[in-house]
Every structure is written in C-alpha cells, then in structure tokens.
C-alpha cells in the first residue's frame, strides 16, 4: 500500500541512493517527464543511455527503448516501470517472419526502424529513428536495394521524399494510424492559418496536409520557430506538455481521431508507466531488462551503425 507515501520525495531519495538516471520519452505522462533527468526522442534517449555514468537507468518509455539502453549499456541495470509497455510496430514484426523476408531478398540490406525487437535488430544492417532516417538513407548508395521495416508509413514517406524504391514491411503504429483526415481538415478550417506538424508514422492522408514532418524532437523544434500562435500537432498528444512549458503564450491542439478528439491517440503502451511504478522500479530494481549476450552483440552492430551514420 503506497498511500501516505510521498512518492516524489521517495523517487528523489532513491535516484541519489541508487545513482540512477531517469530517462523519459515525450509520450510519457507529464508527471514522469517533469521528474526525468532527460526527456527526448528515440535517438537522443539512445545516445543518453550509451553515455551515462549512472549505475541504473530507469527508462520511462516502451520496451524496445529500454532494450536499446541495455544493448548500448550492458553493465548498467536497466529498469522499465512496466514490462508490458510494448509497441504495435514491434508486435507487427515477428523475428522468424522477418528472417524469412530477408532470406527471400538476399540482395537487399535491411534498414530497420528502432521500434522493433532486439531479435529484429540483430537481423538488420542499420537501425534508424525518425530523426536520423533521412540522414542515414542519403548515405546509402543509390543502387543499393533496401528492405525497410517495420513501419510502412515511415518507409513510404522516405521512399516518396527521396524517390527511392524500398520493400516495405507492412507494420503500422496504432496510435498514428488513428488520426482522421476528415476531422483534421475540419480542425484546420476552424483554425485558419495554423500550421500542422506531423510525425512520419502517420499515414499519407495526414502527412500530406502537414507543414512540417519529423520526429518528436523535430516537431518540438518546429513549434519554437513556427509562424503564428497556434499549432496542430499530429503525434501522441503528451508531447504538447513540453510545448506548453517552452512556449506558454501559444496554443497547441492535438490532431483528432474519428471521434473528433485526440484521446484515442494516446499511446496505450506508454500510458502503462506511472509515478508509482517508477517508484517501485527504483526501490526494487525490478522489472529489469536483460538480454542474452550473443543476441545483444548482434543487435549492437546495427545500432552502432546508426549512431555512426546519424552524426
Ligand atoms: P521519436 O521520438 O523518435 O520521434 O519516435 C516516436 C515514437 O513513436 C516512439 O515510439
Ligand atoms: Fe509504438 Fe506507436 Fe506507441 Fe510509439 S506511439 S510506442 S510507435 S505504438
């Protein structure tokens, strides 16, 4: 029973006692973002995890992000407040099927979105995040054939933008898939002149209306330079918390789903992490992320390639 406990003070105490760093993704609840040592997009969080000298990484994000932290920092204890915090993209790409797909196309390299399992990373050549994908793709010779997985919308967006054919794995993010073009156009008409910023995990019906397309950090930076006072945000709405902190005078509206509001675009996996579960994770150093060493080394190759090519 945690009632009567000052959870925030306990997290503070344990953070010091354990020499822990708390990393949070922009899609986490505001209370978790607010007490994190660092809030960022997938690429920034991977870099932080690789560089930290803390003994414990408490990862407020989803499983593939905590796995990435463990792959890059194996000597650290990595805890995830809720181990069930998965990702629909990871679920869409079972390693056995991905392996068979690769084997059917031996002349292709696998350029793979970080939103996948460690096993799929181990079967890939280069990992990308949404903020590094464009830079990395441009460094791959034009005649090199590419498999892109698991997000067909990010893959399709890159393919159209760079006029580059790629074989796409048919995965989608259930959160970004839920935006409604009709409702978005209604919202745009109600807010004349307001730009739209969209994550590339959105389908083309949304991305085609966007004034800016990019990762969570990219969208946040765009908000800081945007024309006007109102922005329509087509990604998981918890990122709006950082926008409101940085730009208190401006208005941010989450893009709607078919019901006309943005609640259906809350990531159900990210939402599993809570302040109470973070406290328990720091107290018990459980649940921990563990990865078998051969698998870790195989997955590290494609992640290292990303860190090298992204800069
Ligand atoms: P980025 O933070 O890299 O833009 O990724 C978004 C996302 O969906 C993470 O699950
Ligand atoms: Fe996965 Fe989508 Fe949730 Fe990101 S927002 S963790 S891609 S389900």
Q: Residue 205: pLDDT above 90?
A: yes
Strands 145-149, 77-79: pairing is unpaired
Q: Percentages helix, strand, coil for the chain, rounded to the nearest 5?
A: 45, 15, 35
Query: Is residue 24 within 8 Å of 33, Cβ to Cβ?
Result: yes
| Per-residue pLDDT at 34 | 98
| Per-residue pLDDT at 2 | 87
CB distance 174 to ligand 2 below 6 Å: yes
| Per-residue pLDDT at 176 | 97
Residue among 200, 189, 208, 173 at smallest CA distance from 253: 189
| Per-residue pLDDT at 184 | 97
Condensed to tens digits (0 to 9), the pLDDT of residues 3-26 reads 899 999 999 999 999 999 999 999
CA separation for the pair 256, 16 (Å, rounded): 41
Entry pTM: 0.97
User: Which residue has better confidence, 261 or 130?
Assistant: 130
Give residue 220 CA to ligand 1 midpoint distance, Å.
12
Structure tokens at 101: 């797909």
Give residue 5 CA to ligand 2 midpoint distance, Å.
32
pLDDT, mean of residues 232-260: 97
Supply the mean pLDDT for the chain. 97
Place of tokens 């441009």: 138
Query: What is the share, in percent, of the chain residues with pLDDT greater than 90?
Result: 96
Q: Residue 293: pLDDT above 90?
A: yes
Q: Residue 174: pLDDT above 90?
A: yes
Domains of the chain: 7-85+270-291 (3.40.50.10800), 89-172+298-310 (3.40.50.10800), 176-265 (3.40.50.10800)
Our mutation pick for probing the ligand 1 site, out of 49, 199, 218, 219, counting the most ligand atoms within 8 A of Cβ, is 199
CB distance 175 to ligand 2 below 6 Å: yes
Place of tokens 């739209």: 196
CA separation for the pair 191, 113 (Å, rounded): 34
Q: Residue 262: pLDDT above 80?
A: no
Q: Which residues contact 64 (CB under 8 A, 6 or more apart)?
A: 86, 87, 90, 114, 115, 116, 117, 118
Q: Cis check for the bond before 164: say yes or no (omega within 30 of 0).
A: no
Question: Using N-to-C axis directions, what is the helix angle for 7-17 and 275-284, rounded to 10°?
Answer: 30
Q: Cis check for the bond before 150: say yes or no (omega within 30 of 0).
A: yes
Give the closest residue (by CA) to ligand 2 atom 1: 87
Query: Is residue 66 within 8 Å of 59, Cβ to Cβ?
Result: yes
């Amino acid at each position: 029973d945690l009632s009567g406990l000052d959870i925030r003070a306990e997290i503070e105490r344990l953070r010091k006692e354990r020499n822990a760093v708390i990393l949070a993704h922009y899609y986490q609840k505001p209370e978790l973002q607010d007490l994190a040592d660092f809030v960022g997009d997938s690429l920034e969080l991977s870099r932080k995890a690789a560089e930290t000298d803390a003994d414990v990484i408490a990862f407020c994000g989803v499983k593939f992000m905590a796995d990435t932290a463990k792959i890059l920092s194996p000597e650290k204890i990595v805890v995830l407040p809720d181990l069930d915090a998965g990702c629909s993209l990871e679920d869409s790409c079972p390693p056995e099927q991905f392996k068979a797909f690769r084997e059917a196309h031996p002349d292709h390299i696998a350029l793979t979105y970080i939103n996948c399992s460690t096993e799929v990373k181990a079967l890939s050549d280069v990992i990308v995040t949404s903020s590094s994908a464009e830079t990395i793709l441009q460094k791959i010779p034009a005649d090199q054939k590419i498999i892109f997985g698991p997000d067909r919308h990010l893959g399709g967006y890159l393919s159209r933008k760079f006029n580059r054919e790629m074989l796409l794995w048919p995965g989608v993010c259930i959160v970004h898939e839920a935006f409604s073009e009709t409702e978005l156009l209604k919202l745009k008409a109600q807010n004349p002149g307001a730009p739209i910023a969209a994550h590339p995990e959105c389908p083309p019906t949304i991305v085609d209306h966007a004034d800016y397309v990019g990762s969570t950090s990219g969208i946040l930076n765009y908000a800081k330079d945007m024309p006007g006072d109102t922005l329509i945000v087509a990604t998981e709405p918890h990122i709006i918390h950082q926008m409101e902190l940085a730009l208190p005078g401006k208005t941010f509206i989450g893009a709607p789903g078919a019901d006309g509001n943005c609640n259906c675009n809350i990531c159900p996996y990210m939402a599993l992490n809570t302040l109470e579960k973070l406290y328990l994770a720091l107290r018990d150093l459980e649940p921990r992320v563990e990865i078998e060493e051969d698998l870790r080394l195989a997955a590290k190759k494609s992640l290292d390639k990303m860190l090298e090519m992204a800069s």
